[in-house]
Amino acid sequence: MKLPPDEVIEERLVNTFPNSRLRELARATGLVQRDGGKLEADALFWALALGFLSAGHRTIEAFRQTYIDTFGGTIRYSSFYEWFTPELCTFLREVLKEALEDLDHESDRLQGRFEEFREVFIVDMTVITLFQELFDEFPGFGDDHAGAKLHVVESTSTGLPTEFSITDARTHESTQLSTGPWLENALLLYDQAYFEYRTMDLIDTNGGWFLTRLKPNAQPKIVDELREWRGNAISLEGEKVQDILDDLHRDVIDAKSEVEFKRRVYNGTRSRAVETFRVVGVWNEDQQQYHLYITNLPADDYAASDIAKLYQARWEVELLFRELKTTYALDKMDTTKPEVVEALILISLISLVVSRTLRELFIEILEDNCSDDDIEPSSLLPRERWAKAVSRRNDRILRRVARRLGYETPSLVKSLMNDGLNPNAHRTLLLEEVQYNSFDAKLA
């Protein structure tokens, strides 16, 4: 296999996050005004983005050490800590937003079952455990729990979020799912937490497709069966879905069903609306029950079994969250500062983009070298395995990026001196106090 030189790694990264744009955004968000210019915004960005990939080192002190070891300087912890501000969060958001937009435009066309769609999006959220001291800013599910929610809309073509939001753990998922023209000819997969007939109607109105599980308490009324059965099959027309499940002995249910909901009108009021969507049930032998789905995908193009198969793709977002929580340790944050919580979540997503960017580079390398048409190069580089490979070599990657940007890595002597010098040398140590302070006189 003919491999390119190592330089392609830092070249791809700095092209994804252009240095001139990083500095421009730092000025626009007010980030560069902080701390008298002791830190360089581009150096700070890379110390955070690649430093975050170090397993078990997601503390501000670890980031500070990464910055000093790579870019030099003698920055005290207190000064570095002060950079974790709303301005830093705004800067990181803007950088992440632009990178995700650029990667989305470069994504390949979907293949196989998905090739009929412009994009397949998966919606979900994950909860991050926080210190109890953050309860006022990030209330959790109980009075003794603080937590944040990361809501994402994942693109299956890139494996990255196209939209995201950060809320407290009590914010309901459905409030974070917006609709619009971006849904045209796209398939949206989501679980029951986002179940709302009004949302389905808006997706349909915007020319999009949706697929989700039917809630146990949802009772669409069947108005037409989409599959014919031989013999004296029970007619389902006019029945409510949940009421007929115990009497059926079919492998599948496939019916056009009527739902009722409140639709907003222009003056702010809501009016009663009735729409018909397709309800599909597939018998699960292991659980001895039907798995019920609701969708607007046409029966002529997607059989009931196809619907169940398509919904399995929703598991991809669970793999995304697992990667964030295992490789990037996003499951718990050891901080009591709200700005640090938001910044660390944003940094984790940027680190994810860095990992995916390098993965795409190596897929291209495999495509240039692979002669077996039966093997898809992307399958040779599983995303989570690749993320772990990158994390193990993040320090080498960071140093290459720093050299590419014109920074000279400080000498080992200087690094050791910075680490070893006691910033509180004026304080008397316990042993010195015992050695040199006078003892009280013996009592007679």
Task: Compute the mean pLDDT over every residue in the chain, rounded to the nearest whole number.
Answer: 87
116-149: per-residue pLDDT in tens? 999 999 999 999 999 999 999 999 988 888 999 9
Residue 245: other Cβ atoms inside 10 A = 12
Describe the strand order of the beta sheet including 186-190 as a list of residue ranges. Answer: 160-168, 146-155, 119-130, 186-190, 209-213, 289-295, 270-284, 252-264, 221-225
Strands in 48-159 per DSSP E: 119-130, 146-155
Please report the pLDDT score of residue 430 as a whole number. Answer: 66
For residue 263, the 8-state DSSP code is E
- Which pTM was predicted? 0.87
338-378: per-residue pLDDT in tens? 999 999 999 999 999 999 999 999 999 998 887 666 677 88
Phi first, then psi: what are they for 146, rounded to 5°? -110, 140
The three-state secondary structure class of 256 is strand
Please, are residues 81 and 61 in contact by the beta-carbon 8 Å criterion?
A: no
pLDDT band at 443, cuts 50/70/90? low
Q: Within 13 Å, how many C-alpha atoms sit on residue 5's CB side?
A: 4
Q: Which token pair is 11?
A: 């070249």
Beta bridge partners of 282: 252, 291
For the chain, how far is it from start to end, CA to CA, in angstroms? 89
